[in-house]
């Protein structure tokens, strides 16, 4: 018990004595865990968008310029899964465009005539029918093109899976980098006490006793870095979400505090693990060398 | 603690024979002077006992422990029962005299109250209680020597290894140090003292083991200092 108290006091002393190095280590750990957290949030959000897009039951079918809207509507209504259809006239389309991009929509009118095609908004009953309905719609001669969320989602999903793979590699590199920095910091403080450790081992200190202050030092540095990263990330993320929501209200962003809380918890655990492992490795390596008899 | 060397040879890289075919035995509570010229192997022999040095050949057993076999944890426990007065003191310059001694007991995990009691007691015993808050560089040679003895005996070890504990001290101070060590021996601690001090060896006569070029060339009860190996 006294040993643990001694080790905590000593771990703290080590941090204070090498304060420049400690700050640098905390800063590195913080940057690494911030990057890890930020890319996790990015991937989670993309996934969230993908799944919300996939769940949209609407298909937009654009008509050829000379197509007969009435006849087309009839053809569409005969398709098996169609629940409802709604005609979007050229004027309505222009109106929508205007509400989305504002005054710039006027540019479209510079050509003289409204160039937007007529279209139908088609709803199906459930998600599994979207792709099949899309295939049938494109077969209708009057239909020029179709757009549905699933198709966007597919593309987005492909991007997201690439980002995911890439960020996993990045994460491993980042974690390794923070591990190396922690390892070196601990090694430097171990060497700064080489003499003391030598005497300690001569008077019968166990390896655990020798190692503990350094492990505590590393642990505090790693945890502090991860904690700061979580706070910074939380602040940045929520202010970014608030702004994005004003700018792009139709994009569903994750706002659940439970999820971000979990992420912070994960980051801190990760910081604890990395710092424990790297400081243990640094001290153990030294002790093994120091306790090797001549 | 009983000690037994059987055919111990230590060769340092590449080919320095520091100890050669040492047979040596002592019983619990014994007192032995280890004499021999500089470089004869006295320090190496002491370091074999603390297992800082592992012999190239031969077996060493100390207090029933076969040192070749001992693991890291048991070595730590084993060393707690040995007090060492190093030739170069090895005091920690950034700790006070008091802390240098308390350190040993902290390592053993004793409660703070007991540590402070025992350290105070031993600092009074070696006569540097009034200097307890000074750092080693602020102490005289004799005081540093006393401090390193205090550190060696504070845990009440069964074995005391003293490597030239009166080196560089005048006869008067050497006498006082010697009184201390003899007192510790009288209380039951086994003592091996490597020394160059002819005056001490001839005044406080005990068993003398002489090493010459890594070999034991003399081992006599109530011996005198005069080196035989060199003639
Ligand atoms: N770590 C070492 N590496 C190489 N040679 C050593 C080492 N320690 C001692 N020696 C050599 O072993 C011999 C005995 O040294 P030592 O035991 O220190 O003698 P003493 O203490 O009697 O003066 C010397 O020749 C010394 O140079
Ligand atoms: Mg020597």
C-alpha to C-alpha distance for A173 and A112, rounded to whole angstroms:
56
Residues A140 and A77: beta-carbon distance below 8 Å: no
**3-state class of A275 per DSSP?**
helix
Residues A188 and A18: beta-carbon distance below 8 Å: yes
pTM of the model: 0.74
C-alpha to C-alpha distance for B133 and B129, rounded to whole angstroms:
9
B208-217 pLDDT, tens digit each: 999 999 999 9
Ligand 1 center from residue B43 Cα (angstroms): 7
Which tokens belong to A70?
């009435």
Nearest residue to B145 (alpha-carbon basis) of B107, B181, B95, B115: B181
B84-104 pLDDT, tens digit each: 998 888 888 888 999 999 989
The residue whose CA is least distant from atom 18 of ligand 1 is: B43
C-alpha to C-alpha distance for A185 and A224, rounded to whole angstroms:
15
Nearest residue to B105 (alpha-carbon basis) of B151, B69, B41: B151
C-alpha to C-alpha distance for A134 and A147, rounded to whole angstroms:
8
Q: At residue A294, does pLDDT exceed 80? A: yes
Ligand 2 center from residue B100 Cα (angstroms): 23
Q: At residue A190, does pLDDT exceed 70? A: yes
Kindly give the interhelix angle for A194-202 and A149-192, rounded to the nearest 10 degrees: 70
Which tokens belong to B26?
């002592």
Q: In degrees rounded to 5, what are phi and psi of residue B70? A: -65, 140
Nearest residue to A42 (alpha-carbon basis) of A244, A177, A250, A182: A244
Residues measured by CB to lie within 5 Å of ligand 2, the ion: B 43
> Which of A199, A204, A291 is nearest residue B92 as measured by Cβ atoms?
A199
Give me the interface pTM, i.e. the ipTM.
0.83
Highest mean pLDDT among A96-110, A149-163, B177-191: B177-191
Distances (CA, A) of B51 to A294, B29, B54, B65, B159: 9, 21, 6, 11, 14
Residues B12 and A294: beta-carbon distance below 8 Å: yes
A118-144 pLDDT, tens digit each: 888 888 777 777 777 777 777 777 778
Kindly give the interhelix angle for A19-54 and A257-290, rounded to the nearest 10 degrees: 140
> Which of B12, B53, B76 is nearest residue A204 as measured by Cβ atoms?
B76
Could you tell me which residues come within 8 angstroms of residue B212 by beta carbon, excluding any fewer than 6 positions away? B36, B37, B40, B227, B228, B229, B230
- Minimal-distance CA residue of chain B relative to A202: B79
Q: At residue A208, does pLDDT exceed 70? A: yes
Residues above pLDDT 70, as percent of chain A: 94
């Amino acid at each position: 018990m006294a040993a643990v108290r001694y080790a905590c006091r000593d771990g703290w002393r080590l941090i204070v004595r090498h304060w420049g190095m400690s700050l640098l280590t905390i800063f590195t750990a913080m940057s690494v865990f911030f990057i890890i957290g930020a890319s996790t949030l990015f991937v989670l959000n993309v996934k969230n968008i993908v799944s919300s897009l996939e769940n949209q039951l609407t298909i937009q079918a654009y008509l050829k310029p000379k197509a007969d809207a009435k006849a087309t509507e009839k053809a569409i209504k005969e398709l098996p899964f169609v629940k409802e259809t709604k005609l979007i006239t050229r004027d309505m389309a222009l109106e929508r465009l205007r509400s989305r991009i504002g005054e710039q929509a006027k540019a479209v009118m510079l050509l003289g005539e409204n160039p937007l095609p007529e279209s139908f908004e088609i709803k199906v009953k459930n998600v599994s029918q979207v792709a099949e309905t899309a295939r049938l719609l494109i077969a209708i001669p009057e239909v020029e093109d179709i757009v549905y969320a699933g198709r966007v989602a597919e593309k987005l999903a492909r991007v997201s899976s690439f980002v995911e793979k890439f960020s996993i590699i990045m994460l491993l590199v980042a974690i390794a980098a923070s591990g190396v920095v922690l390892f070196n910091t601990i090694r430097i403080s171990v060497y700064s006490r080489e003499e003391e450790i030598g005497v300690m081992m001569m008077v019968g200190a166990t390896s655990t006793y020798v190692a503990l202050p350094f492990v505590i030092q590393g642990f505090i540095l790693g945890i502090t870095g991860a904690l700061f990263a979580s706070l910074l990330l939380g602040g940045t993320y929520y202010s970014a979400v608030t702004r994005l929501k004003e700018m792009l209200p139709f994009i569903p962003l994750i706002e659940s505090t439970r999820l971000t809380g979990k992420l912070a918890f994960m980051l801190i655990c990760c910081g604890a693990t990395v710092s424990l492992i790297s400081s243990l490795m640094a001290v153990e390596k030294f002790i093994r060398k120091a306790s090797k008899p001549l | 603690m009983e000690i037994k060397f059987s055919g111990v040879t230590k060769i340092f890289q590449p080919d320095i024979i520091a100890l050669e075919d040492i047979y040596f035995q002592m019983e619990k509570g014994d007192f032995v002077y280890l004499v021999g010229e500089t470089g004869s192997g006295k320090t190496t022999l002491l370091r074999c006992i603390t297992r800082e040095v592992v012999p190239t050949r031969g077996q060493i057993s100390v207090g029933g422990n076969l040192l070749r076999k001992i693991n890291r944890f048991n070595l730590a426990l084993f060393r707690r029962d040995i007090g060492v007065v190093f030739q170069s003191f090895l005091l920690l310059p950034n700790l006070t005299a008091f802390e240098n001694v308390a350190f040993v007991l902290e390592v053993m995990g004793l409660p703070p109250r007991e540590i402070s009691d025992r350290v105070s007691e031993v600092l009074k015993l070696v006569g540097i209680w009034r200097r307890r808050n000074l750092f080693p560089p602020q102490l005289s040679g004799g005081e540093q020597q006393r401090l390193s003895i205090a550190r060696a005996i504070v845990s009440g070890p069964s074995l005391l290894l003293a490597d030239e504990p009166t080196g560089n001290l005048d006869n008067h101070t050497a006498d006082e140090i010697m009184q201390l060590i003899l007192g510790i021996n009288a209380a039951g601690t086994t003592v091996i003292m490597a020394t160059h001090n002819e005056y001490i060896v001839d005044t406080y006569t005990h068993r003398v083991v002489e090493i010459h070029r890594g070999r034991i060339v003399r081992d006599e009860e109530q011996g005198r200092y005069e080196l035989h190996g060199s003639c």
